[in-house]
Amino acid sequence: MARIGIMSFAHMHAYSYAACLDELVEAELIAIWDDNHSRGKKAAKQFNTAFVAELDKFLALDMQGVIVTSENVRHREMVEAAAAAGKWVLCEKPLAPTVADAKAVIAACRHAKVGLGTAFPVRYSIPMMAVRQMLKSGEYGEIYAASCTNNGQFPGGWFAKQALSGGGATMDHTVHAVDALRWMTGREITHVYSENGNLLRHGIDTDDVGSLHLEMEGGIQVSHVASWNRPKSFPTWGDVTFEIVCEKGVIRVDAFNQKISVYNDDAVRAEWAYWGGNPDLGLIQDFVAAVDERREPTVTGVDGLRAVEVTVAAYKSAAAGKMVRI
């Protein structure tokens, strides 16, 4: 059985990952560390595990892997500390807010001979896996172009503070689209043009919307919108959609369209009840297997780096007003 700890509950995905660990018979969430002691203690109580206030004591525990879900700018220090302690690491996306930090994270894990994974659960979405298989089969011929979105609710808190997040919606959401594109097509992104800003929320440090044009190997043209434009009353946090134009047809997918519409009179709103797969569970299952088998997680640190390279290029493009080559 893989014994796993979670470092920081600053990112909301930590709660989903903890729930997934509780669901797996082959894993055990043995402890939580959080520099926010109140938050960490509440999470430990919620998931019936131990809270350890001192990081060195947490990393000295008898566990094989850790999940890092801190603020973006703290990923590097967290991963480096975990790697030095000999722990396998799954790091929340983005792997880091800068290319230099992402490379340092990868180097630290390689030096320590521990596995490093990046949290890209979209790869474990049942509809997205089906689309990838359709493209890989060759049935649709060459891929010419794609358009994709990743729109979500405004997370607030440290996400809106440049000093802690390193970027806004463009960074937060584009990484998912970039990884999915690379995974589905087997092609790298070569050029980025981006415009971003604050269309919905003024006065925050970070952008809340980004509009990108990407060019991939083989001449594939991609348009992408990343935003925090969903209202609080939206049935789910947001969307992940793709339309892929191919030689022999067009594929359209909405990764979160596995749902039943529920009209809740008590809440006075419509809700979506999910009946499909849980991408987070697939992600955590793979990480647990990687820990047990002492192998790299399927979504690697290098995959995380490639997504960071694109988002960094997007911000450079927006600042310069021109296309940037990766």
What is the Cα Rg of the chain in Å?
19
Provide the H-helix boundaries in the chain: 13-23, 37-46, 55-59, 75-84, 99-112, 126-136, 162-165, 169-185, 279-293, 301-320
Q: Is the predicted pLDDT of residue 159 greater than 90, yes or no?
A: yes
- CB 153 within 8 Å of CB 228: yes
User: What are 183's two structure tokens?
Assistant: 């995974």
pLDDT, one tens digit per residue, over 35-69 is 999 999 999 999 999 999 999 999 999 999 999 99
Q: Is the predicted pLDDT of residue 237 greater than 80, yes or no?
A: no
Which pLDDT does position 277 carry in this prediction? 85
Which pLDDT does position 238 carry in this prediction? 81
Q: Is the predicted pLDDT of residue 234 greater than 90, yes or no?
A: no
Longest Cα separation, the chain: 58
Which pLDDT does position 40 carry in this prediction? 98
CA dist 27 and 22 (Å) reads 7
Same fold, 2-121+280-299 and 123-277+308-325: no
* Nearest to 115, CA basis, from 307, 304, 300: 300
- CB 175 within 8 Å of CB 311: yes
pLDDT, mean of residues 17-34 = 98
Banded model confidence at residue 265, pLDDT cuts 50, 70, 90:
confident
**Rounded to the nearest 10 degrees, how much is the dihedral formed by the CA atoms of 119, 121, 122, 125?**
170
Q: How does DSSP classify residue 249?
A: E
pLDDT, one tens digit per residue, over 165-206 is 999 999 999 999 999 999 999 999 999 999 999 988 878 999
Banded model confidence at residue 148, pLDDT cuts 50, 70, 90:
very high
Strand partners, 33: 7
User: What are 69's two structure tokens?
Assistant: 């879900």
User: What are 54's two structure tokens?
Assistant: 């001192």
Give percent above pLDDT 90 in the chain. Answer: 89
Out of 184-188, 274-278, 321-325, least confident range? 274-278
Query: Which numeric CATH code is attached to 123-277+308-325?
Result: 3.30.360.10
Banded model confidence at residue 162, pLDDT cuts 50, 70, 90:
very high
Q: Which CATH number fits domain 2-121+280-299: 1.10.3720.10, 3.40.720.10, 3.40.50.720, 3.60.15.10?
A: 3.40.50.720
Which pLDDT does position 266 carry in this prediction? 83
Banded model confidence at residue 74, pLDDT cuts 50, 70, 90:
very high
CA dist 318 and 313 (Å) reads 9
Q: Is the predicted pLDDT of residue 274 greater than 80, yes or no?
A: no
Banded model confidence at residue 270, pLDDT cuts 50, 70, 90:
confident
CA dist 231 and 208 (Å) reads 13
3-state helix, strand, coil in the chain (%, to 5): 40, 30, 30
Sheet strand arrangement including 27-33: 50-51, 27-33, 2-7, 65-68, 88-92, 116-119
DSSP 120-156: -GGGG-HHHHHHHHHHHTTTT-SEEEEEEEEEEE---
CA dist 147 and 213 (Å) reads 9
- Burial of residue 304 (number of CB atoms within 10 Å: 0-12, 13-18, 19+): buried
In the chain, where the domains are located: 2-121+280-299, 123-277+308-325
